[in-house]
Amino acid sequence: MKTSRIALWVWYRGDFFRGFQSQLQGPTVQDRLVAALTAVGLRSRPSPAGRTDKGVHARMQIVSLRSPIGPEELLGHLSPNPFPGFGISYARLAADGFHAQWSNVGKEYRYRIRLDGRASDRWAPFSWTPEDHPRLSGRAIRPEALAPILRALEGKRDFAAFHESSSPRRIRTIRTAELVDLGDGLAEIRISGDRFARYQVRFMVGSAVAVAAGAISRDAFGAALAGAETIAGIKAPAAGLVLWEVHYPLAIDPFGPEERRDPDGVPAEPPFESVHR
């Protein structure tokens, strides 16, 4: 039977799942999505743009799959919210050879952080209050101190001191690492790059915050970035992290700029609430 290559844009709340990838301890996003596809007669194992760990959210996760029916018909069979904490924004016919993971040229992650305890309680489950960490308790974290530390992450290096040793050492590029003030005590760390190792964003965020708080010296941080030393870093909690956007070469990108700015169906609430800048 002839099949087409389909790209699905899905979103999910990480607190509903034990990560994306199938595992015995479930529930996982992949298992629930496979079940939803099977229920409409489609036997396909979707491939994601990247795995997300337990508790990590995704505003834009792309999965590619083969389907004997076209994208519009597939969406007609699937519910836009086939199970709690998950939704499907778009289905698009993808270019020959398109693969959600291997075709992407970068991702943007956003991490929400409460710097002074004033942020709205509705953000509490979807952000990190650094003072709750025993190494950071009682330490002030000023935005003007944190911003340049984050910018120091930008560049091309192996970042081995900032990810799990189970991920292979290779050169990775952080294109941008910036701090955006969202107001009322809530800030957002935006990090974009070409590829990321396991826990890399969480270790970079946690360690940068620790430097800003004085719990890690700037010299130790710089040496770790240079690859000369390891670092006793902090892994920021999963709850504050969102896979925000996945990028593809323009010639094969299934999604347009308007869709990327204001996607259908993604809740306009934490953790997906957007501040355009």
Give me the residue spans of the domains in the chain. 4-103+249-261, 106-242
Share above pLDDT 70 across residues of the chain, in percent, rounded to a whole number: 99
Share above pLDDT 90 across residues of the chain, in percent, rounded to a whole number: 86
Q: Check residue 23 and give its pLDDT.
A: 86
Is the confidence at residue 277, as pLDDT, over 60? no
Is the confidence at residue 155, as pLDDT, over 90? yes
> Which pLDDT band, with edges at 50, 70 and 90, does 229 fall under?
confident
For residue 144, give Cα distances in angstroms to 76, 114, 124, 179: 49, 15, 23, 9
Q: Which fold has domain 4-103+249-261?
A: Alpha-Beta Plaits (3.30.70)
4-103+249-261 and 106-242 share one fold:
yes
Q: Check residue 116 and give its pLDDT.
A: 77
> Which pLDDT band, with edges at 50, 70 and 90, does 276 fall under?
low
Catalytic annotation present for 31: no
Q: Check residue 6 and give its pLDDT.
A: 96
As a whole number, mean pLDDT of residues 209-214 equals: 97
As a whole number, mean pLDDT of residues 137-165 equals: 94
Active-site choice (15, 31, 53, 158): 53
Q: Check residue 117 and give its pLDDT.
A: 66
Which residue is listed with tokens 């979807």?
A: 126
pTM equals 0.96
> Which pLDDT band, with edges at 50, 70 and 90, does 48 fall under?
very high
pLDDT tens for 168-210 read 899 999 999 999 998 888 999 999 999 999 999 999 999 999 9
For residue 43, give Cα distances in angstroms to 14, 27, 245: 25, 19, 27
Is the confidence at residue 112, as pLDDT, over 80? yes
CATH number at 106-242: 3.30.70.660
Q: Check residue 162 and give its pLDDT.
A: 96
Average per-residue pLDDT for the chain = 94
